[in-house]
Amino acid sequence: MLRTVGPSSAPANQQAQAGDPVGYTARPAPKLMTRILVTVALGMLLMVSGAAAKEIGPEEALCPAIASLGPGEELVLEPGMYRGPCAISSSGQAGNPITIRAKDPRQPPTIAYDGARANVFDIAGSHIVIRDLEFGPTKPDVDAIRLRNVEDIVIENCRFSEVGGISIVAASGRGVVIRGNEISHPRATAVYLGCHNGDCFLTDLLVENNYIHDVSAPPGAVGYGLQVKLNSVAVIRDNVVVNTKGPGIMVYGARDPLAQTIVERNFVARARTSSGIVIGGGPVLVRNNITIGSADYGIALEDYQRRGLLRRIVVAHNTAHGNVRGAIGMPERAVVEARILNNALHSHGGFGPEPPTPPGVVQRGNVNCSIAVPCFRDPQAFDFSPVGMPHSPWPADLDLVGDDYYGRRRGDPAIPGAIQQEAPPIELGIKPRPSS
């Protein structure tokens, strides 16, 4: 224990002198102060390192172990199967979260629940990290992770398989990060963020580097890859979304004209009954995406429920290939304010926006890749390296679209489409992080 050094206990040369202010307490000599600070720091380090991590095995009760966690503490799970469901109300602190993670990411522990009356993780706490865990299968309408009015939640490097409800769902809050997860064969929409009518919403959302594939849904249900509902604001980037029943990605915009969502550098393929990317409202920036092989359009603008929110929309430097109905779709009767710039567009149906472009839409620098001149090296092998692609006659705004699908800096003049230069074929799986 450290002893307080005051006027009555300090060495004579450190005692208060005549004329010193009343209440003066002499300071320790510099060397002593250094020793005290080092001792305190080491003690704190030992205390934190000794108490921060709790390790349990599958034979132990998971939910009480989570409930016991405090700010800065970790629950480390050994490989095996753990029983849910868990209602999680504990919270960490900003910069000092609670963490629930696998001991060995190569052997993710499974959080199992075969009931029908709860969600596997139902989280009302904040400042929580969930990492390297596995969820599913679950029964219909049982969600894997449901977030309730949360702040600062990170869900990363987890695996979700055959979830009967929604794999990750959140209605309101801010600072949610969904990163590096694989969601395989969900039997409903994979990721649902916000509320349908916009009365509850999320801000500061980041959805990146996820692999979502083989989405099914019951008759009458849409089966999205991921959707961000009205008034929720997100950055959606570097995801691979393949073989969904409904849209791979859908955003609904916001009533606030400054609340911009960004959809960038995603690969979206084979929406079986819809378009790859659907824009239900703005403001939104859709850039550097590759969208292929969907039953409807590659990218579609839709005046969802006639909300009149198709404004402040930019669709720039995207690649659309082999989408059945067309490359870019527009509503027939709606007020639209959009810029369609420097896209590389191929389809089995039509080239540009269909039906005829509404008055508020500006098109510049788009390339028709449906004609005999080749645009891409080998689309059947997912190689969309530009071949014979002309430089855009419409100068790219490098502040708006400064990189390409792989995060590489664009040249000036820029090549239309999502990829600026030669690149490897796209692989299905977690997309490699862009090089810095």
Summarize pLDDT for 349-362 with one digit per residue, the tens.
Answer: 655 555 567 789 99
| 3-class SS of residue 248 | coil
List pLDDT tens digits, range 163-205. 999 999 999 999 999 999 999 999 999 999 999 999 999 999 9
Q: First and final CA of the chain: distance in angstroms?
A: 48
Q: What is the dihedral of CA 292, 295, 300, 303, to 10 degrees?
A: -160
Looking at per-residue pLDDT, the higher value among 246 and 14 belongs to 246
pLDDT score for 354 = 53
pLDDT score for 347 = 79
CA–CA distance, 222 with 304 (Å, rounded to integer): 15
List pLDDT tens digits, range 303-339. 999 999 999 999 999 999 999 999 999 998 889 999 9
Beta carbons of 340 and 368 less than 8 angstroms apart? no
Cis before residue 358, ω within 30 degrees of 0? Answer: no
pLDDT at 436 over 70: no
Q: Smallest Cα–Cα separation from 249: which of 199, 307, 302?
A: 302
pLDDT score for 401 = 86
pLDDT score for 356 = 65
Q: Which residues pair with 242 in a beta bridge?
A: 213, 269
Beta carbons of 9 and 32 less than 8 angstroms apart? no
* 417, containing H or E segment: none
Q: The pTM is what?
A: 0.86
pLDDT at 43 over 50: no
CA–CA distance, 271 with 276 (Å, rounded to integer): 6
